[in-house]
Amino acid sequence: MPITTRKAAPPSLLQKFRTLTEGLLMEVAQEAMLQAYPGIAARPTRKSGPVYTLLRIVFLPGFKLTPWPIRRKMMSLFFVHPEQRWPAQPWKEKQ
């Protein structure tokens, strides 16, 4: 059980979008594997709702048509955080 003293920060719109799209892409990859190797496992449960329908109609075809260098650049801009540094060491500054 994690020990926390504060509530977690609410996710940003970018984090929500990333979660939705990663889940959708994982589901599509699982369906493709089942088509290549039928009878190995059960089909993944499709997520339902207007957001998932919209993502299937708009995002998925656009994602498939986007060339890999552009896709990679977009992912690095949106989803990769800059490296984090440790805070300054105030206990050393006082000496």
CA distance 46 to 56: 11
pLDDT tens-digit series, residues 49-71: 898 899 899 988 998 899 999 98
CA distance 63 to 32: 16
Nearest to 61 by CA among 33, 16, 13, 24: 24
Does residue 2 lie in a domain region?
no
Q: What is the pTM of this model?
A: 0.66
Nearest to 12 by CA among 79, 75, 58, 82: 79
Give the number of domains in the chain: 1
Does residue 86 lie in a domain region?
no
What pLDDT band is residue 95 in, cutting at 50, 70 and 90?
low
Residue 47 makes CB contacts below 8 A (sequence gap 6+) with 23, 24, 27
Q: By residue range, what is the domain housing residue 68?
A: 13-79
